[in-house]
């Protein structure tokens, strides 16, 4: 079977760190081109264009795109690719609004191509076994602590502070993607407080109270002002003891012991994308983005100290 010819659109941090190596390591794909308006591609032997429109007009021919841009421009790029019958992989979050993601889903179904809303944290090593273990438990309490230093992880990323950039929910949505995947029941938001720096449009911190449909409380503590040790932990208390996912889902601790497994998030995503394309299917789960939208819809906004990079 011929490899799927893919272009990476948006050659920023995540494209360089994860997408390009994962594509190089997945025989189902061959990298056909890269697209970025201001930066050159990473490899002179691969065609590089300044816009997706230019690539689609001039070639080289492609079968799929991976959209690794900020979310605010995702819809226009995805719609343009779908119109040409090209399969689309969307980095998280899949869009800047829920309604644009729904419109893309409808268009992909209509034209019969694959649309994949990728949630990379769901492919972290501990997540699938955590989901299997929790499927048989009664959950009594969940605590999410997602505290990192924005200056370390998002230096100079102006888009992240703009409307649609999500602020601290840019990493926080990864925790929500794990939560909605491992818990056996639906989850919804009860209250939220969003701390928004006086000079920015998006939150630097958030405190969320959620619950599942049995009423089990879920507390989420998100903060970008963390210096020193960083936390990406989800702790689930159950009738059979405590489950702990740490390091963003990579390490799983159960009452029986702790498992550390190799990080295969992006190879896992590309393998899934290839299977979806070969099977003629899409995978567009909006649950994590919906919870973030609910936090913006229902949250109380508090102005906090201005933030400078
Ligand atoms: P980034 O470093 O700011 O890179 C974004 C890239 O998108 C830039 O290189 C920019 O190109 C390009 N771009 C902007 N508008 C474009 C357009 N219209 N057409 C083509 N390219 C365009 O951001 P990032 O950290 O890689 O994040 C990108 C996405 O991946 C976000 O949705 C983020 O949530 C997600 N993500 C990030 C991480 C992470 O650790 N950083 C992890 C997982 C997922 P120029 O530089 O050429 O202007």
Q: What is the DSSP string of 152-195?
A: HHSTT-GGGGSTTS-TTHHHHHHHHHHHHHHSSS-EEEEEEEEE
| H or E stretch covering 305 | none
Inter-residue contact 277 to 64 (CB < 8 Å): yes
Distance 11 CA to ligand 1 centre (A): 7
Inter-residue contact 115 to 282 (CB < 8 Å): yes
Instruction: Give the closest residue to 165 by CA, choosing from 196, 189, 140, 126.
Output: 196
User: What are the structure tokens assigned to 19, written together?
Assistant: 């997408």
Instruction: Give the closest residue to 28 by CA, choosing from 87, 78, 108.
Output: 87
Which residues participate in catalysis according to the annotation? 92
Residue 233 CA from chain centroid, whole number: 16
Neighbouring-strand partners of residue 120: none
pLDDT the model gives residue 67:
98
pLDDT in tens, the chain (309 residues): 899 999 999 999 999 999 999 999 999 999 999 999 987 777 788 999 999 999 999 989 999 999 999 999 999 999 999 999 999 999 999 999 999 999 999 999 999 999 999 999 999 999 999 999 999 999 999 999 999 999 999 999 999 999 999 999 999 999 999 999 999 999 999 999 999 999 999 999 999 999 999 999 999 999 999 999 999 999 999 999 999 999 999 999 999 998 777 778 999 999 999 999 999 999 999 999 999 999 999 999 999 999 998
Question: Please, where in the chain does CATH 3.30.360.10 lie?
Answer: 121-264+293-304
Residue nearest to atom 36 of ligand 1 (CA): 14
For residue 171, what are the contacts with CB-CB under 8 A and spacing of at least 6?
146, 148, 153, 222, 224, 232
- Other C-beta atoms closer than 10 Å to the C-beta of 174 total 22
Integer Cα distance of 295 and 193 in angstroms: 8
Question: Please, where in the chain does CATH 3.40.50.720 lie?
Answer: 4-118
Collapsed DSSP state (helix, strand, coil) of residue 231:
strand
pLDDT the model gives residue 59:
85
Question: What does the DSSP 8-state code read for residue 3?
Answer: P
Distance 56 CA to ligand 1 centre (A): 20
- The radius of gyration of the chain's CA atoms, rounded to the nearest angstrom, is 20
**Atom number in ligand 1 closest to CA 170:** 34
Going through the chain in order, the beta strands assigned E by DSSP cover 4-9, 29-35, 47-49, 64-67, 87-90, 115-117, 139-147, 187-197, 205-212, 217-223, 231-238, 241-246, 251-254, 257-260, 300-304
Distance 284 CA to ligand 1 centre (A): 20
Distance 70 CA to ligand 1 centre (A): 5
The yes/no answer on whether domain 121-264+293-304 falls in CATH 3.30.360.10 is yes
Residue nearest to atom 48 of ligand 1 (CA): 38
> Which residues form ligand 1's pocket by a CB distance below 6 Å?
9-15, 35-39, 68-71, 73, 91-92, 120, 157, 170
User: What are the structure tokens assigned to 281, written together?
Assistant: 């299917």
Residue nearest to atom 22 of ligand 1 (CA): 10
Q: Which CATH superfamily is domain 4-118 in?
A: NAD(P)-binding Rossmann-like Domain (3.40.50.720)
């Amino acid at each position: 079977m011929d490899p799927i010819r893919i272009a990476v659109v948006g050659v920023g941090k995540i494209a360089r760190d994860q997408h390009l190596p994962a594509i190089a390591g997945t025989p189902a794909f061959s990298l056909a081109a890269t697209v970025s308006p201001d930066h050159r591609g990473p490899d002179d032997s691969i065609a590089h264009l300044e816009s997706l429109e230019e690539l689609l007009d001039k070639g080289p021919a492609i079968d799929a795109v991976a959209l690794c841009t900020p979310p605010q421009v995702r819809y226009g790029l995805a719609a343009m690719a779908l119109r040409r019958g090209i399969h689309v992989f969307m980095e998280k979050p899949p869009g800047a609004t829920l309604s644009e993601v729904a419109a893309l889903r409808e268009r992909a179904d209509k034209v019969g191509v694959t649309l994949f809303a990728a949630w990379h944290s769901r492919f972290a090593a501990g997540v699938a076994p955590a989901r299997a273990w929790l499927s048989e438990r009664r959950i009594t309490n969940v605590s999410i602590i997602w505290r990192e230093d924005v200056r370390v992880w998002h230096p100079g990323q102006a888009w992240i502070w703009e409307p649609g950039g999500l602020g601290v929910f840019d990493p926080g949505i990864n925790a929500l993607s794990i939560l909605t995947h491992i818990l056996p029941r639906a989850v919804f938001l009860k209250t939220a407080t969003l701390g928004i720096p006086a000079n920015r449009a998006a939150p630097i911190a958030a405190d969320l109270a959620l619950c599942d449909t049995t009423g089990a409380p879920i507390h989420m503590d998100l903060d970008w002002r963390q210096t020193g040790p960083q936390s990406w932990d989800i702790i689930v208390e159950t009738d059979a003891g405590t489950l702990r996912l740490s390091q963003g889902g990579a390490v799983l601790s159960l009452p029986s012991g702790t498992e550390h497994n190799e990080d295969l998030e992006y190879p896992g995503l590309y393998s899934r994308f290839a299977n979806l394309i070969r099977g003629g299917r899409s995978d567009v789960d909006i649950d994590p983005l919906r919870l973030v939208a609910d936090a913006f819809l229902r949250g109380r906004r508090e102005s906090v100290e201005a933030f400078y990079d």
